[in-house]
């Protein structure tokens, strides 16, 4: 047995121990193991290219988190809050309902990765929601802020979950089609998507009402008088 290709593992261990850039360390380890295993250089490069293409979506997801972290370190959340504070006509309900509409429409087109919790809700939507809530209730408590963040996260979840079922090429739609086909019921993906459309519309209406009621509760908390005793 040829043990020389295992030197690639040693390269990874040494590179990580010395805190070198992980990407060139892994690539160098792969090249070294391939050469020591007797692979031709063209075949080795083709294998690396195929592996990169097959995992490019995972790579994009992994690179999203450090990019968002750098933006937050540079003050992205603070800038979002300040910008929201200057928009006088933008209320919390308008912000979240507008985001819900855009999120659901994009999900219906299959663009589920355009927005999401790490790249949109945490750095942008939640801080803007807090700034909008402060217009209603300047004395927001930590519990109020957590509730605003929770409503923003729920809005994103609902928009994607109920919108993506309208996209005919979604895996869930094809799974539903296959399940019915096993029981002798033939359905096209388009028919399944059209049946999911009323549910998506109902989810949008229900969540919009919940957002409006949440904004109303914030206004009540900001009022110095109990309900029915305003002067």
Check whether residue 46 and residue 69 sit in a common domain: no
**DSSP states of 88-112:** TT--HHHHHHHHHHHHHHHHHTT-T
pTM above 0.85, yes or no: no
Distance between CA atoms of residues 78 and 140, nearest Å = 17
Same domain, 120 and 186: yes
Residues 47 and 119 in one domain: no
Question: Is 97 among the domain residues?
Answer: yes
Q: Are residues 63 and 8 in the same domain?
A: no
Q: Are residues 73 and 19 in the same domain?
A: no
Asked if residue 145 is part of any domain, the answer here is yes
- Give how many domains the chain has, as a whole number: 2
Dump pLDDT digits (tens) for 185-201. Answer: 888 888 888 888 999 99
Which of 39, 54, 69 marks a domain boundary?
Answer: 54
Residue from 2, 1, 29, 33 nearest 14 by CA? 29
State the average pLDDT over residues 51-64.
58
Q: Quick check: 223 pLDDT over 90?
A: no
Q: Are residues 91 and 29 in the same domain?
A: no
pLDDT at residue number 22: 76
72: domain range? 57-222
């Amino acid at each position: 047995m040829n043990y020389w290709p295992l030197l690639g593992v040693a390269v990874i261990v040494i590179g990580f121990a010395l805190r070198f850039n992980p990407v060139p360390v892994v690539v160098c380890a792969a090249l070294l193991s391939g050469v020591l295993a007797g692979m031709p250089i063209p075949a080795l490069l083709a294998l690396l290219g195929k592996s990169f293409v097959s995992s490019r979506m995972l790579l994009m997801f992994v690179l999203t988190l450090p990019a968002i972290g750098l933006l937050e370190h540079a003050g992205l959340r603070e800038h979002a809050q300040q910008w929201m504070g200057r928009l006088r006509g933008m209320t919390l309900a308008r912000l979240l309902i507008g985001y819900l509409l855009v999120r659901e429409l994009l999900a219906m087109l299959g663009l589920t990765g355009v927005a999401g919790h790490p790249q949109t809700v945490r750095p942008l939507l939640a801080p803007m929601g807090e700034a909008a809530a402060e217009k209603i209730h300047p004395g927001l408590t930590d519990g109020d802020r957590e509730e605003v963040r929770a409503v923003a996260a729920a809005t994103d979840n609902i928009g994607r979950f109920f919108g993506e079922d309208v996209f005919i090429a979604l895996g869930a739609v094809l799974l539903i089609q296959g399940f019915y086909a096993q029981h002798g019921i033939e359905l096209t993906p388009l028919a399944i998507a059209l049946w999911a459309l009323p549910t998506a519309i109902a989810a949008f209406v229900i969540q919009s009402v919940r957002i409006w009621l949440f904004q109303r509760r914030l206004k009540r908390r900001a009022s110095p008088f109990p309900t029915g005793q305003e002067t």
